[in-house]
Structure 1
Amino acid sequence: MSAGPYRPTLPPPGFYLVYDSLANSLAAVPPLPPSSASQFTHRAIGSGAGVLRHHPPGEYMLAELLYHRTSSAQATLFTWCSSGPVAGQWISKEVVLPFPLPSDPTYIFHADIVFVVGETSMCWVDLLEGILVCDNIVADPKFRFISLPKGYSRSWNPEHGRGRPRDFRSMCSVRGDSVKFIHMEAAGCFDGMALTTWTLCLSNSEWEKGGSFSITDMWADPTYNELKLPKRVPRYPILSLLDEEDGIVYLDVVEQNDRYVFSVNVERGMVISGIRLPPGTRRPNRIMAVEVSMHSDESQLKVGGARLYG
C-alpha cells in the first residue's frame, strides 16, 4: 500500500509501505523517482503494486507496472528488492504487453486486482477481460495474457466507464500455481442469479469450471431467514484464502443502514453462516480477504487467516 497522498506518476510526498507479517514489522519504500516515471511519461495500469516474498522469510520484491503515456501495449516494470546486489533501489525494465487484439479497439486493460502466484509469478487481473501474467519476475520477467473463461469477457462503453466489476466478480491465487475466479450473474432476472467458480492452472493456461450456487437458495436458507432480511442481491464475492475453507465465498448484503456478511460453500451449495455487523460500523466499500502468517518460534511457521473489512 502507499502512504500519504502519493500515487505512481504523481509527485511526492508519500511512499510505499510493506508489512512483514512474519516479523510483525513495516518497511518504508521510497516513491518512484520522478525522473523515471511522471504524469508526462507514464500512467497507471489500475490497482497498485504487488509484493513477492523471497526466501529466507523477510526478504521481498515490490513491483509496479505502468503504461507508457502514449501506448497501452508498452509499459515499464519497476521493481524494488529488499536484498541482493540491487537492493534498496528502483530498477526499471521496458516491456511489451502481449494483449490480444480486442474486439473493441477502444478497450484498455485495467487491473482491478494484483496478486502473486507461487514463488515467481505476479498477476494483474482485469475482471472484464483476463489476466496479465508475469512469470519469473525476479530474474527474467516474461509476460503473457490469459483470457477469462469463454463467454465471460465483457465489453464496456468508454462514455459510461467500466462500471464496478468487483461488485460481482473476484479472483485470487490458491494452492500451487492455480487461480480461482468467482462470478455472479443473473440469468434473465434476480431469481436466476447464481455464483459460479472457475479454476485456472497457470502452467497450461486452462480453465476448469467448478461449482454453482443459486442466490435463490441463499434467500431460502434458514440462516438467511433468521436474520429477517428481505431478498437483497449480495455483492463483493470474495474467496476465502484459508486452506480449510476451500470453496468458501463471502458475500456482502446491505439492508438500509445495516450490513450483513454471509459465507457460502459453492461446491456443496449451502450457506455456512450469516452475521450482522455491529450497529454504527463504518460502511466500507467492500470485503477484503487477508492471509496473515506469524512465527511461533524459529523452527516452526504457523499460518493463520483473517478477514478484514476495508
Structure 2
Amino acid sequence: MSVRRVAVLGGGSWGTAFAKVLADAGREVLLWARRPEVAAAINERHVNPDYLPGVELPGLLTATTNAATALDGVDAVVLAVPSQTLRANLAGWRDLLPRGATLVSLAKGVELGTLKRMSEVVVEVAGVTPDQVAVVSGPNLAREIAAEEPTATVIACTDHDRAVALQHACTTGYFRSYTNTDVVGCEVGGAGKNVIALATGMAAGMGFGDNTRASLITRGLAETARLGVALGADPMTFAGLAGLGDLVATCSSPLSRNRTFGERLGRGESLAQAEAANHGQVAEGVKSCSSICELGARYGVELPIADAVRRVCHEGLSAAEMGKELISRAPRPE
C-alpha cells in the first residue's frame, strides 16, 4: 500500500499547511478550495494569501474548485473542513470518492446532535469501514508547520498498514509522524484540547499567569483522559503527542484560535465580539464544548472545566465567575 496522489479538501490554513507537507514529501497534491480566488492564487503565484500569507507553496501542490477533478484517481483523501460542517461537505463528495482510498480527517471536534467523533461521521456518511479512516492529531499549529519549524504528529488508524503508508507520505525534514491504532484516544484528545484552550485563554485574558495555565492544562488533560477511557481509549495516548503535546501547544500559543478566542472572553468581550475579531476562522471549541459535555453526561464522566467553558460560551456565565467556581470546587484526591 502506498500513497502517491492525494486530494486535500479544504483550503484553510491547516488544509493548506498539510497539503504543503505532503507535496514537500514528494506527493502529487491537488487541493480543493471553495473560493476561486484561493485556487487561482495557489496555481498562479504558489501562495494562499488569505490563510498563510508570505508562505511559498511547492510546485507539486495545485488547486481546483472542482471536487471531481480533485478526487480523480487519488490514493488518499484529506478532509480539512471544520468539524461541524464535515457531514454536509462529505455528503456532497461521497459519490466522487475513489474506491478503497484512505480517508484522512484533520478536523478536531465532536459533532453536535449525534455526539459522533469525526472518524465516526466519515464512516457513516462515506459508507466505508472504520479501518479505511485515519486521523491526524498533535501539536500542529498551521503557521509554524508552513514555516517549516520542526514538529511531530500522530497518524491514527485501526489499519496499521494504512497508517504507515500515510506516515511515509507526509514525512519531511521538518514534519515527523508517528503511528497509532488508538483512533478514539487521538480524536478525544484533539477535541478536548480546544475546549481546555478556551479556558486557558480566558485565564490569560483575566491576567493570570503560568501557575494558572499549568493547572488548567493538567486538570484539563485529566478530564479529557477520563472521557477518552470511558469511550474505550488507551490512557497512555493522552501522555503522547495527540494528548499532552497538542494540549500544551493549543493552550500556550497566540497562534491558537481557541486560546486567543478565550483570551478575548477573559478580557470581557462578548461571544459575538470575539467571533468578529477572529476574522471568520472557526474556534472549534466554542461549539464542541456543548457536544463534549453531552458525551460526558452520557458516559457519566465529570468534566468541570469543559462544563464551565460551555456555560461561558452559551449560558452567559462570565469568565470571572467561571474562575471562582473552579477554584472553589470541593477538595478531593488527585
Q: TM-score, normalised by structure 1?
A: 0.29
Q: TM-score, normalised by structure 2?
A: 0.27
Larger radius of gyration: 1
Higher strand share: 1
Higher RCO by CA contacts (8 Å cutoff, separation 6 or greater): 2
Higher helix share: 2
